[in-house]
Structure 1
């Protein structure tokens, strides 16, 4: 039971203006016999996996080549913008995801590794990436189709990169950038209101302390949030989501 006066609303984001969700990795087998999620990259957000249970791996493509990072309870892995990543199920893999720039992923800062002909057509890409609302069989079937299409493109990128040809991987990065370019003004506004404002607040607090004036501490308070959706179909797995300050909508499809 919570007692005492409550804050009027969630005026502050999570520490560092990060986003947070929980994932249970898909156990659907893909064309290469591997069970897991939909490979994709982020354009401006670093993502971190904090493994809370089970085991598995995250496969990554970067200018350094192909890598598979083992995941087990207690381990952490993170990847910077432009890194293609694919979560792989090894047995009851469960992860807490921390996402830089809360609000930007919700606004589309992720591009799936669909084949080049899909990436070249924004309308076709949007249709292939969209999921019906809800968590029923129709949504699950669409999520599996989306995953399979992303794996199709991903396997070609990985094969070329392993063979020493980074061309297809870099072409995918450029195609991804073209797809999201029109979203940048919205992202910039979200960043200014979220991550940038949070950093600037810290600067103002440091200035106040340097001046010997800790009056801002009178604003101290606590916040709480509960899951806004359980078991949704994300890119990597079944997803528990939160509506948090700095986000404009839940992580639909992430």
Structure 2
């Protein structure tokens, strides 16, 4: 099976309709360290709340809209009614290796063991996902009042042990896809059409059972290869959409 174009990842997402402490329904605030993310709105309405060094924003989401953001953008999906998205993630395989940090309160972020305990879904996954969302929302609301630089530093400390693994995933995924395009261009320039004789079609069926993700119930479409070596260091989840992090 070939990779998705450009080495991206793709998931279907039904955003949580659980009401939070501020009266809004939706997902878990978090930030990606090196992966951009895009939403294609399939149905329903809502918004994505974002927080960056330039301030807070609330971007509306309507059917047909496409919204995307870069690493360092803390984001929280808000479901105003039936919100369903197609999520595109840069560097397929890397987000699944933990490229996300929840906006837990500062004392949790400062303790890798406390962070992992708060991030991991155990027992009743629905109840655990809701508790995780509520704790991250508490930290998110505090960050709106200040402390982004400290959050960025804490995020880096939590994930520092995974950076070598992330580089391998990027090298073997998105970078390899871009380099292959360069080789194809060179071959075409030289009159070599050999790669055109290897056209192929790949297909993934919709997963039967959605997973509890950061922001809602997820149908993930894994098409990336296994990493060269397993993640090491603190906060190295087996899969961000399930027991720990993503979307």
TM-score (norm 1): 0.88
Measured against aligned partners, the alpha-carbon deviations of 1:82-103 in whole angstroms (never above 9, x if no partner) come to 1000000010000000000000
1:65 is matched with which residue?
A: 55
Q: Report the RMSD for the aligned CA atoms in angstroms.
A: 1.4
Q: Does residue 143 of the first structure (1) align with residue 143 of the second (2)?
A: no
1:129 is matched with which residue?
A: 119
Q: Does residue 231 of the first structure (1) align with residue 220 of the second (2)?
A: no
Of the two, which has the highest radius of gyration?
1
- The 1-side partners of 2:142 and 2:222 are apart by 36
Q: Which runs of 5+ in 2 are unaligned?
A: 228-237
Q: Are the aligned partners of 2:9 and 2:222 in contact in 1 as well (CA < 8 Å)?
A: no
Deviation at 1:115, TM superposition (A): 0.3
Count residues with an aligned counterpart. 233
Judging changes above 3 Å, is the alpha-carbon distance between structure 1 residues 61 and 191 closer, same or farther for their aligned structure 2 residues? same
- The 2-side partners of 1:234 and 1:245 are apart by 19
2:177 is matched with which residue?
A: 198
- The 2-side partners of 1:155 and 1:142 are apart by 20
- The 2-side partners of 1:139 and 1:94 are apart by 20
Identify the match of residue 156 of structure 1 among 142, 146, 157. 142
Measured against aligned partners, the alpha-carbon deviations of 1:217-243 in whole angstroms (never above 9, x if no partner) come to 111111111234532110011111122
Q: Are the aligned partners of 1:38 and 1:112 in contact in 2 as well (CA < 8 Å)?
A: yes
- The 1-side partners of 2:39 and 2:205 are apart by 20
Measured against aligned partners, the alpha-carbon deviations of 1:122-150 in whole angstroms (never above 9, x if no partner) come to 111011000137xxxx1101000000000
Q: Which runs of 5+ in 1 are unaligned?
A: 1-9
Structure 1 counterpart SS, 2:34: coil
TM-score (norm 2): 0.91
Where does structure 1 differ by over 3 angstroms across 4 or more consecutive aligned residues?
Answer: 246-251
- The 2-side partners of 1:51 and 1:86 are apart by 15
Identify the match of residue 179 of structure 1 among 136, 158, 162. 158
Deviation at 1:174, TM superposition (A): 1.2
